[in-house]
Amino acid sequence: MKEIVIGDNEEGKKLDRFLTSYLKEASTGFIYKMLRKKNITLNDKKAKGTEVLKKGDSIKIFFSDETFLKFRGEKGGAGKDFAGAISKLGALPVIYEDSDIVLVNKPASVLSQKSSADDLSLNEWLLNYLYDKKAVTDKSLETYRPSVCNRLDRNTSGLVICAKSLKGARLMNSLIKERRIRKFYRTIVTGNIEDYAHLTGYLFKDEKKNVVHIKEEDPGDERYSYIETTYRKIEYYKDKDLSLLEVELITGKTHQIRAHLSSIDHPIIGDAKYGGDMSFGLKYQLLHSYRVVFPADLPEGFEHLRGREFIAREPYEFLKITGGA
């Protein structure tokens, strides 16, 4: 028998949704069958599955150990998937941390999330960091796993918002979806670009080629999504004919900044996919998630983040080109 006591990170979920997440290899039909047969109980009583879980509730699962591990999709401890991430990637570059969120300065070349089973991504790096400092345990990971909330391309560096708690995940995901967190990027483009612009357009992603196309006017094609990007020029380097920009991502589509700047003939240096200058010895686009600004009207429990700004300094590659190294 396995007992799960509901904590802060599980409270508010419906029982059936919790169980389908917890027993990820079990079908919904199987779970309802187990509820009917009282092989799964809530507070030692037969449950329908529609109950909303409260802190302190007890769920008991009367399976053999072998059956339980089968439906959990596990052969060992919950920490096995990320053990050793710190030894391979080094210390996690934390910008800010509290009980609900972690802000991380992701290096270029690190995935935000796995794209295949063998990948080592920021998610595993985060979990290894929290596991090592005992902020999470094998037991807590059975019911909730901290994870990244916003993703960056593999070769885009900078600030990533990660959730430590379910409360943090719900709020951050909501703020990101509603575009209430302001996100600013630093990049270097070819040419002397105008000082400020608010760009709009329509973007379509070719999934097969993993490249996006932008049109300035609405093409009347439902595959295209409306996009907005603004930028301001920080400095122009006349000797290299390069401009350092701070770009605000208003909408957040795949490759939006890269393709939008390329569409106005100022591609990001190192960005071979969108026509960037490759003469600076770069192996990828020089794009960095530089700062985020939280809204001033955050709910109770997040007062400490109201209106706050967090910055992740540019990597060495920027300084080499701008002369700050």
Place of tokens 């052969």: 75
Return mean pLDDT, the chain.
92
Measured from the Cβ of residue 263, the count of other Cβ atoms closer than 10 Å reads 20
> Which CATH fold would you assign to the domain 2-72?
3.10.290
What is the tens place of the pLDDT at every residue in 72-123? Answer: 876 555 556 687 788 889 999 999 999 999 999 999 999 999 888 778 899 9
Which residue, among 186, 264, 180, has the nearest Cα to 232 in the 3D structure? 186
Task: Decide if 74 contacts 17 (C-beta within 8 A).
Answer: no
Rounded to two decimals, what is the model's pTM? 0.82
Report how far residue 42's alpha carbon sits from residue 59's, in angstroms, rounded to the nearest whole number: 5
High-pLDDT (> 70) share of the chain, %:
97
Measured from the Cβ of residue 118, the count of other Cβ atoms closer than 10 Å reads 6
Whether 182-322 and 78-177 are alike in CATH topology: the answer is: yes
What is the tens place of the pLDDT at every residue in 295-322? Answer: 999 999 999 999 999 999 999 999 899 8
Does an H or E element contain 278, and which?
Answer: none
Report how far residue 179's alpha carbon sits from residue 230's, in angstroms, rounded to the nearest whole number: 14
Burial (CB < 10 A; 0-12, 13-18, 19+), residue 46, is: exposed
Would you kindly state where each structural domain of the chain is located, as residue ranges? 2-72, 78-177, 182-322
> Which CATH fold would you assign to the domain 182-322?
Pseudouridine synthase (3.30.2350)
Structure token pair of residue 83: 């053990």
Angstrom distances, CA of residue 292 to CA of 141, 169, 186, 258, 287? 28, 16, 12, 19, 15
DSSP bridge partners of 244: 188, 235
Residues of the chain with pLDDT under 50: none
Q: Which residues contact 217 (CB under 8 A, 6 or more apart)?
A: 202
Residue 297, pLDDT score: 96
Report how far residue 213's alpha carbon sits from residue 35's, in angstroms, rounded to the nearest whole number: 50
Report how far residue 218's alpha carbon sits from residue 203's, in angstroms, rounded to the nearest whole number: 9
Task: Decide if 116 contacts 124 (C-beta within 8 A).
Answer: no
Q: Would you tell me which CATH number, out of the four given (3.30.2350.10, 3.40.47.10, 3.50.50.100, 3.30.1360.120), belongs to the domain 78-177?
A: 3.30.2350.10
